[in-house]
């Protein structure tokens, strides 16, 4: 079965977001073991590596039909390619970045994206001191030009790396320029039309979860809940 055959069924399903997040974790593990020259992996080894229990793992993969062979495990490259196709990471995706400060520079230099088919194609800022500078391979453009520039580029993913105070207005500009999916790093809940998807990366939220677990952790050193 190739990637094209399974796509319609996937699209029809409503796959829970946590499943999608875990699939991306499995992909990262499979990438790492493939780099190490491993060609097959047992489901137990993959579960341990991803920090996910067996029943959750089976349930996650069950959304997408049969995987693996009993007693043999998974062919690393096959499973990697299947999950890549499920997540639609097998097609090139163009991305815009708004915010060329420290965070924008970190994202532009992020090596985790270089393995993927995710391409940062333009970077914007509203600060005259930053416009015209290089951010990685890109020249920083004025944010007012985003619609004109994206008319050529056709990017549908936007990365929002601006301060909280600017985030909502920049999101509006991005959406007007054709962006349909926003990765938001500002600590604000964006108001967007229903056809636009937002994922928030919120450092405070992540730290809240750590604070909870730190305090809830038994003093005997065992661990209430592991994160994948």
Site for a copy of itself in 89-128 (CB under 8 A): 89, 91, 93, 95, 101-103, 105-107, 109-113, 115-116, 118
Q: Which two tokens stand for residue 222?
A: 């065992």
Q: Which stretch binds a copy of itself (CB under 8 A): 34-42, 66-74, 138-146, 218-226?
A: 218-226
Q: How far apart are CB 38 and a copy of itself at their closest, in Å?
A: 15
Q: Which of residues 41-60 bind a copy of itself (CB under 8 A)?
A: 49-51
- A 10 A CB-CB count for 137 gives 9
Tell me the C-alpha distance between 124 and 100, whole Å.
7
CA 159 from chain centre, in angstroms, equals: 11
160 binds a copy of itself (CB under 8 A): no
- Phi first, then psi, for residue 202 (nearest 5°) are -120, 110
Nearer to a copy of itself, 48 or 77 (CB): 48
Tell me the C-alpha distance between 129 and 92, whole Å.
32
Helices (H), the chain: 3-12, 17-35, 43-50, 54-62, 76-86, 102-108, 146-153, 164-176, 203-216
Q: Which of residues 166-205 bind a copy of itself (CB under 8 A)?
A: 180-183, 187-189, 194-205
228 binds a copy of itself (CB under 8 A): yes
Q: How far apart are CB 153 and a copy of itself at their closest, in Å?
A: 15
224 binds a copy of itself (CB under 8 A): yes
């Amino acid at each position: 079965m190739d990637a094209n055959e399974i796509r319609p069924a996937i699209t029809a399903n409503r796959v829970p977001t946590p499943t999608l997040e875990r699939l991306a974790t499995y992909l990262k593990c499979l990438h790492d073991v493939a780099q190490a020259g491993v060609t097959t992996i047992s489901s137990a080894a993959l579960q341990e590596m991803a920090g996910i229990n067996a029943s959750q793992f089976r349930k996650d993969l069950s959304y997408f039909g049969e995987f693996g062979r009993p007693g043999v495990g998974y062919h690393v490259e096959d499973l990697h390619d299947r999950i890549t196709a499920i997540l639609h990471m097998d097609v090139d995706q163009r991305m815009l970045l708004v915010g060329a400060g420290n965070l924008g520079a970190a994202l532009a230099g992020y090596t985790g994206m270089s393995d993927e088919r995710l391409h940062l194609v333009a970077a914007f800022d509203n600060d005259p001191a930053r416009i015209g500078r290089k951010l990685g391979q890109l020249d920083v453009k004025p944010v007012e030009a985003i619609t004109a520039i994206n008319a050529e580029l056709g990017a549908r993913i936007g990365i929002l790396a601006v301060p909280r105070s600017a985030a909502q207005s920049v999101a509006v500009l991005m959406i007007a320029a054709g962006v349909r999916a926003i990765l938001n790093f500002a600590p604000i809940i964006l108001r967007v039309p229903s056809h636009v998807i937002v994922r928030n990366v919120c450092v405070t939220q992540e730290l809240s979860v750590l604070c909870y677990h730190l305090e809830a952790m038994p003093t005997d050193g065992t661990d209430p809940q592991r994160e994948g």
